[in-house]
Chain A
């Protein structure tokens, strides 16, 4: 697996793929989808697909691919090697969602949640396979969110393909297990050799599993918290673990879409109470009225100062 396209710029998402086996373009195929790195606060989330002709399902089983979680890293690498060796009939593709992509999607003005992001990535990968001539007939997916809804969504998007969404699909269908191995291997390699875009000097690479409950990960997060910038792009800012630490240890940053308490915000913005529009104007000519700045200045947010 050549990671260099992602490592060239790990702030954005990247797709890596094997060559499409010729057999997949002529025979009916099945495709498995799985993800790796959904929970960690560190590193990318990787979506993987694996596909092979329906006729080769048994041979895939022979490779003894199993749920990536039950395997050690070495076993996974080994199995990935075997998949690469079976390239005459097995194809794969992974989509690496950089932590920066996850942060910016989830924290942007119009929130784009992790489920939606997951779904869209999975859909993108299926489309990629279709666009490259893979004769898809069956798709197996490990579920994200409610299985039946997800299944309906995918079936509607890909008419003519039999979509099966199942929890624990990675231990039920070998093709999904194979996909999960691709995804997991990609994630492991990316996390291990993460290129920090930030100038952090010698980075302590001992960040543990990257999961929020790992003490090593927590210690690392504390160590690399910058009061102004927060974290390097390796960290998912949208994770509450990261947010809580930044809220307590870093400088407070205000954004204009921060939610504020209704009345307080109104007061700060000098909003008039709705009621004031219904009351009669305060008696006669108002001499106490303070100087009103001309709209040329107010429209441009310009004001006079009396001190620096």
Chain B
């Protein structure tokens, strides 16, 4: 019969299957090619992959559809990973925001090119070349012009209003796309027979807030929740009944669930039974290197044949 197949990790590819916005491949106007760049993900604070369009004028985020047991046939070759990359336009302000917040703590107006510096991700300064960046900076910062120079200072108030607008726009998009936002829905592939009438405005707001939170820090996400006047959800853990604890009191236990005998004073654990001589001698046997009995009942693991 067939051998057990061992999975080997995906090796590095030099090709990918990508769906990209039309604007990505529009390289006519600018000299540089679009390029993948690693930048600080505002939500996780770790590196994530983004793409800068030609001439750095547009920022794209890169998401991968990844599911087990998929591969591609590309022309006359097989691509082992069945990944599908999506390169979709993204507002560069999301990536600029954390830097501005950080410098904003000093409370000074600063030129943005001084703010956008990161030893770990030197490419972050390229974000300022995006057409939307400087033009929309006023959404998240106060601006001051001195001569020909522009200075910026982070504004929480402005940012919240900006994010709120983002959430509202997301709600519109969610409704347009008929995306199930209700709490009960667990699978997007689940086909509803009747339209979702139980999804109320709050569900949409909360869902949109969750989506936007993928692009902002946790602190901002919490602040935004407050700004949207959405009560914080109690975590499902808290809604679970507390684990039962036996009361350590002398009072008789109320009937209901009858565990009284465990609570009564004369209930005591029996000491472990004494082992017979034979059991004792068996226990002393050197068992190093021996398989436990249970291992004989689990399925065998066979090594992959070379």
Residues of A in contact with B (beta carbons under 8 Å apart): 228, 240, 243-244, 247-248, 252, 254-256, 258, 260-264, 268, 280-281, 291, 293-297, 299-308
Contact = CB atoms under 8 A, between A and B. Distances in A.
Interface string B5-19: 111100001001000
A3 to B, nearest CB: 32
A306 B86 contact: no
B183 to A, nearest CB: 10
B298 A297 contact: no
B133 interface: no
Query: Majority SS of interface residues in chain B?
Result: loop
B188 A258 contact: no
A295 B85 CA distance: 18
Contacts of B299: 261-262
A261 B210 CA distance: 37
Contacts of A304: 41, 44, 48-49, 61-64
Interface in B200-232: 207, 210-211, 213-214, 218
B44 A291 contact: yes
A301 B66 contact: yes
A306 B47 contact: yes
Nearest to B238: A281
B78 interface: yes
B63 A247 contact: no
Nearest to A294: B210
23 contacts: A240-B1, A243-B1, A247-B305, A252-B5, A254-B5, A256-B68, A261-B4, A262-B298, A262-B299, A263-B298, A268-B7, A281-B237, A294-B210, A296-B207, A299-B186, A304-B62, A304-B64, A305-B49, A305-B63, A305-B85, A306-B46, A307-B38, A308-B16
A264 B46 contact: no
B65 A301 contact: yes
Given A252-B304, A254-B68, A299-B186, 11 more contacts: A240-B1, A247-B2, A256-B69, A281-B237, A281-B240, A294-B210, A296-B207, A303-B64, A304-B64, A305-B48, A308-B36
Query: Majority SS of interface residues in chain A?
Result: loop
A255 B69 CA distance: 6
A302 B207 contact: no
A255 B5 CA distance: 10
B3 interface: yes
B225 to A, nearest CB: 14
Contact of B301 (A261, A296, A301, A307): A261
B188 A299 contact: yes
A293 B214 contact: yes
Contacts of A260: 4
B11 to A, nearest CB: 12
B2 A243 contact: yes
Contacts of A281: 237, 240
Interface residues of B, number: 49
A267 B13 CA distance: 25
A254 B69 contact: yes
Nearest to B86: A302
Contacts of A258: 5
Nearest to A247: B3
Contacts of B41: 304
Contacts of A240: 1
B98 to A, nearest CB: 14
Contact of B63 (A263, A291, A302, A307): A302
A224 to B, nearest CB: 19
Contacts of B63: 297, 302-305
B243 interface: yes
A256 B43 CA distance: 33
A293 B298 CA distance: 35
A262 B188 CA distance: 28
B148 interface: no
A33 B187 CA distance: 51
B258 interface: no
A281 B69 CA distance: 33
A240 B1 CA distance: 6
B67 interface: yes
A255 B7 CA distance: 11
A254 B82 CA distance: 12
Given A256-B68, A300-B188, A302-B86, A308 B13 contact: yes
A308 B81 CA distance: 12
B65 to A, nearest CB: 5
A199 to B, nearest CB: 12
A280 B242 CA distance: 8
Given A264-B301, A291-B44, A305-B62, A299 B211 contact: no
B167 to A, nearest CB: 13
Interface in B11-53: 13, 16, 36, 38, 41, 43-44, 46-49
B47 A228 contact: no
B49 A306 contact: yes
Contacts of B1: 240, 243
Contact of B7 (A247, A254, A280, A306): A254
A308 B49 contact: yes
Contacts of A297: 63, 214
Nearest to A227: B78
A254 to B, nearest CB: 6
Contacts of B4: 260-261
Contacts of A243: 1-2
